[in-house]
Amino acid sequence: MTTYRIAPSILSADFARLGEEVRNVVAAGADIIHFDVMDNHYVPNLTIGPLVCQAIRPHVQVPIDVHLMVKPVDRIIPDFAKAGANIITFHPEASDHIDRTLQLIRDHGCKAGLVFNPHTPMHYLEHVMDKIDMILIMSVNPGFGGQSFIPQALKKIAIARRMIDESGRDIMLEVDGGIKADNIAAAAAAGADTFVAGSAIFGKPDYKGVIDEMRAQLAT
């Protein structure tokens, strides 16, 4: 039996009430908090950093999954580890030395992962699988919440699933972008086990209703 995890992206939460928002979404059944970091350089948007991670940390017990859309990546990693991140993922194009960056994340006591944009080749994984705890497949181009799911991502999820199975390692396979109750089952069928959803959850008043509906879709 696959363990499925729902990871609400706080990018679509009410930032003026972030502590309450993360508590509410965890009470509604979230397994992970997905934390989108954008730098207005690697992606054309600017969001939140380690101070905000530190501020929400005492409000929830679940893992905080920091998705770094920043370039360069290395110098911000220790700050996020100190701020209470549990998982840190980055885009391979944003690191000059991928193996070193993965090791840096692990040396700071966090799980490490690579993120693949719709165009990013999967071969970046080939020689670093032993240092990977999570693979994140983007089903939108990174930078904004509320975009539509790109169906070609399903093929990449399937490739990643094959690579994980061949490695024999315990690696989370996360999908991020445009995930809703009506496409979550397709992403699971392709092999994903961890589902980021921002606007689908925070855009509705009843977080539990949405998360329950997603779980119902995963159970079919």
- The verdict on 196 binding ligand DX5 (CB under 6 A) reads yes
How many positions of this chain bind Zn ion (CB under 5 A)?
A: 3
Backbone angles phi, psi at 28, to 5 degrees: -80, -5
Please identify which residue in 5, 7, 33, 36 interacts with Zn ion, judged by CB under 5 A: 36
Q: Does 9 bind ligand DX5 (CB under 6 A)?
A: yes
**In this structure, what token pair is assigned to residue 60?**
């929830």
Torsion of CA 38, 65, 28, 176, to 10 degrees: 60
Nearer to Zn ion, 68 or 126 (CB): 68
* Chain centroid, CA 84 distance in Å: 16
To the question of whether residue 178 is assigned a binding role by annotation, the answer is yes
Residue of 60, 10, 61, 58 lying closest to 202 (CA atoms)? 10
Q: Quick check: 24 binds ligand DX5 (CB under 6 A)?
A: no
Is 130 tagged catalytic?
Answer: no
Q: Mark 45-80 as b/e (b = at least 16 C-beta within 10 Å).
A: eebbbbebbeebbeebeebbbbbbbbeebbebbeeb
Quick check: is 36 catalytic?
yes
As measured in angstroms, the least distance from the Cβ of 176 to Zn ion is: 4
Q: Does 145 bind ligand DX5 (CB under 6 A)?
A: yes
According to the binding rule CB under 5 A, does residue 91 interact with Zn ion?
Answer: no
Q: Which is nearer to ligand DX5, 165 or 182 (CB)?
A: 182
Question: Contact letters (x/-) for ligand DX5, 92-131, by CB under 6 A?
Answer: ----------------------------------------
Contact stretch for ligand DX5 (CB under 6 A) within 122-130, 154-162, 174-182, 210-218: 174-182
Q: Return d(Cα 142, Cα 202) in angstroms, integer.
A: 18
Please name which of 96, 84, 169, 94 lies closest in space to residue 134, comparing C-alpha atoms. Answer: 169
Please state the three-class secondary structure of 51-91 as a single string. Answer: HHHHHHHHHCCCCEEEEEECCCCHHHHHHHHHCCCCEEEEC
Residues 66-95 that bind ligand DX5 (CB under 6 A): 67
Tell me the closest approach of the beta carbon of residue 70 to ligand DX5, in angstroms.
12
Residues that bind Zn ion (CB under 5 A): 36, 67, 176
Residues that bind ligand DX5 (CB under 6 A): 9, 11-12, 34, 36, 67, 140, 142-143, 145-147, 176-179, 196-200
Which residues are annotated as catalytic?
Answer: 36, 176
